[in-house]
Structure 1
C-alpha cells in the first residue's frame, strides 16, 4: 500500500475534469511568502477568530485540500495554511525531512504573528504535526490528526514513487494535466466538481519543456521517520484528537487498533464511519460538526491571538 495523496495516473483522462477552462478560486491564493533555508514557502491567513489554527496538508498535496472547510473554520478561528516545500507553490529542496518541514511551520507562525496555534494535520501532515507538537509545545496548544498513519516502532518505511533527476511528467495543456489527477488512495465517491479545484491547482507550467506538469517534487519525497512519530506520541504534552475515516484505506482497522494503544491516555479518538481518507474534501457535513466540537473542546487550550505566554 502506498498512501499517496495525489499524482499522475496512466488511466484515461477523467472527462469531467477536462473542461471548462480553469478559473482560480479565492481559496487558491496564498498571498504571502517566507524563506526557510533559502526556499520560498507560501502561506495565507484568513478568518476572524480570536485563536489560531495551522493546517498541514499531506503527501503530494497542498493547501487546497482544506478549501471546503475554510468557511466553517474561519467563523471560529484565524486560519493559517501553507504549502510545504516540495508541494504546491512553495519551492523545492535537494533534501526533505521532518525537521525542515517543522522549521517551515514555525517560520510561517512567526511571519503570521502567531504565538500559539492549534495544529491540524491530514495524513502525512499529521505525522509531521505529531513531531512538531511534541518538540514545540510552547507553539502548539493542541493537536488534531486526521486519518494519519500510525505504525509500531521498527516498521518498514513505505516506499514512494520517484522519477529520475531532470525527468517530469509533461502534458500538452493545463486541462489535459488536471484531467489525469486522481486522489490516492482511490476515492471514487468524491464528485468531480469537488476534485476540480484541487486538481487544477496541482499543475503548473513545466520547466525546460513545452507543456504542463505537477507542482509536487517528482524526484520523490521521503517518508517521515516512523519511530520518531511513535516516540513523540509517548510524551505528547498537548491535548490530542485522532480522527479516523471509517472507510479509509490508510487508517485500516488494524492501524486504528494500534493507534488506540499508541495514543496518550487522555486523547480523543473519533471515527467518521462513512468517510474515506480524504474526508476533508467530501464529508463537509461531518467535518462541520467535528470542527464545532473540536473548537468547543480545544479552544481553551490555545492562547488568544496576539497574547504571549504569561
Structure 2
C-alpha cells in the first residue's frame, strides 16, 4: 500500500473527508475517483498503487460513509455530484479534471459531468452508470432489496471485533480468490464503534436514499447527455462472482447507447468488486486513467 493524505473539503453542511495520493511530479494531472454505494475511498487504494504516482488521485469518502459519515443530508446522487464538483474545485488545480467512478460512483460521475461540465474532462465509468427503469410494481423498500439487499443487511449487523469483520468479508464469494492487505484496509475503514458491537460507518438513510435515487430520470438519462467522452469498463461477472454481471452485450445493446459519447469495454475474468480491487481490473483502470490524463 502506498501513502495517502487525508484532507477536508468544504461542502454543503460541513466538510467532506478526502484521500489524496500525490503524484511524484509537481503539476501532474489530477483524477477524482468516486466509490460505490456502501464502499469508501480506500476501495481505490489498489488503483492508486498501480498508478505509481503518474497522476494525483483524489478519492472522497462520499457523504454518509467512513470519514464523511457525520456529514448530514440531503443525500442522493445529485448531492454527491455537487460534492464531487466541490472536490474538483478545491483539489483539482486549473482546468477540468478526469473523473472516474465505480458502481454507484459511476452514476454520480455521469451526473456530475452533466451538472458541472466546466469541472470535468474525460470520464471513466467502472461497472456502473447505465441504469434501467425501475419495475413499477415494487415499493421503494422492495426496490432496494432487489438491488442491494445483502449490502443493506450488513449495515444493520454488529461485529465482535475487526477480525470478525474481516472473516465476514473473506467469506464473500467476490473476494474468495482475491483477498489482499489493500482489500483488508478498505473494508476496515468501513468499521466503527466499540467491541463487541462494531458496525459499518455507512448511514442507512444515506444508502437507502442513494439506492432509490439511481432510478431517478435525471440519473438514468445522464449517460445520454454527456458533454465529454466516456469509457465504460464492465465486469464480466457479478456482485457475488456469478456468471451474469450487471452488464453484458445484450443488456448494453438494449440500452441503445448509439449516438451517445459512451464507449463500453469488457474486462474479462473480474467481478463487480475485483474490477476495482484486483490487480487485473486495477491495471486496466490505471492504464485508462493515465491515457485520459494525458501522461
The two structures have a TM-score, normalised by structure 2, of 0.78
Which of structures 1 and 2 has the bigger CA Rg?
A: 1
What do the CA deviations read for 1:91-132 (whole angstroms, capped 9, x no partner)? Answer: 242441122212211222222253421010000000011100
SS at match of 1:59: coil
Which segment drifts farther, 269-278 or 72-81?
Answer: 72-81
Which segment drifts farther, 221-230 or 139-148?
Answer: 221-230
What is the CA-CA distance between 1:266 and the residue it aligns to? 4.4
Q: Does 1:150 align with 2:121?
A: no
SS at match of 1:54: strand
Residue 204 of structure 2: aligned partner: 218
Residue 280 of structure 1: aligned partner: 276
Distance 1:229 1:169 in 2: 30
Gaps of at least 5 residues in structure 1 are 1-24, 305-310
The two structures have a TM-score, normalised by structure 1, of 0.75
What is the CA-CA distance between 1:258 and the residue it aligns to? 3.3
Given that 2:190 and 2:201 are in contact with CA atoms closer than 8 Å, whether structure 1 keeps it comes out as yes
Q: Does 1:32 align with 2:17?
A: no
Distance 2:10 2:134 in 1: 34
Distance 1:133 1:62 in 2: 21
Gaps of at least 5 residues in structure 2 are 240-244
For residues 166-177 of structure 1, the aligned pairs below 5 Å read 169-177=157-165
CA change 1:173–1:266 in 2 (3 A) is: closer
Which of 19, 27, 31 aligns to 1:53? It is 31
- RMSD of equivalent CA atoms: 3.0
Residue 96 of structure 1: aligned partner: 75
CA change 1:107–1:54 in 2 (3 A) is: same
What is the CA-CA distance between 1:220 and the residue it aligns to? 5.1
SS at match of 1:131: helix
CA change 1:182–1:220 in 2 (3 A) is: farther
Given that 1:102 and 1:128 are in contact with CA atoms closer than 8 Å, whether structure 2 keeps it comes out as yes
Q: Does 1:109 align with 2:109?
A: no
What do the CA deviations read for 1:125-149 (whole angstroms, capped 9, x no partner)? Answer: 0001110011211100111100015
